[in-house]
Structure 1
């Protein structure tokens, strides 16, 4: 009886494997934790880039949002290390001037109030439209 059940189980498994749309190599890959870790990292990077870059970035700046994201996200040691790595990488990108929370501020530029083109912060006249640029002072 046991041999009959084993044969029937094997026949059912082979029939179901023929219906499985996922190839066998991908199925083996999906069993590894590296696959799920890379998928998790990819989704987090995409979500963070979309959310921080288009929603929070222009409003409050990228740095504050990254700290909130880092305080909510981690739950275990690998996640903490990964989050710290992302924050360190983001900090280095900010430091090197490849990205900036205020857009043009780290490159020494600002927008002309008339034509909205980027001009140097020290400029007195816009080179695109010719309008006079008043100097903005924080403390008067």
Structure 2
């Protein structure tokens, strides 16, 4: 299930890793990827949903932690395994229109916002409680991560 280090997806994650280090958002010992068995656990949690290769590369490169990137947001293993439960909670609220079908929820923010993938799409989507529409946040996971890094860096200035 691991992605080869020569894979283009890993190249993008290596670039992001370098930006995390250069920006000071993370130090070398604050970036940790998932083990093969942890990646397999995440993949198993997806059932028949085919996880995007870029997400598997993310898990391998920094799926456990990445310094201050995403502080307060649960996208890192093992807390990311609770994303579907968070989505179920959000969807059960009055007036909410979040569908749980054919989606892989990979993260959540403080129980009111969830992040997910849809089948055959590299895009990252979100749904926020009280805002009954799905929004595409980025056309790809690397773009989503890059944007999150830019926000984090600007917040620290």
TM-score band by shorter chain is under 0.3
Which has more radius of gyration?
1
Q: Relative contact order (alpha carbons < 8 A, sep ≥ 6): 1 or 2 greater?
A: 2
Q: Which has the higher strand share?
A: 2
Give the TM-score of the pair, scaled to structure 2: 0.18
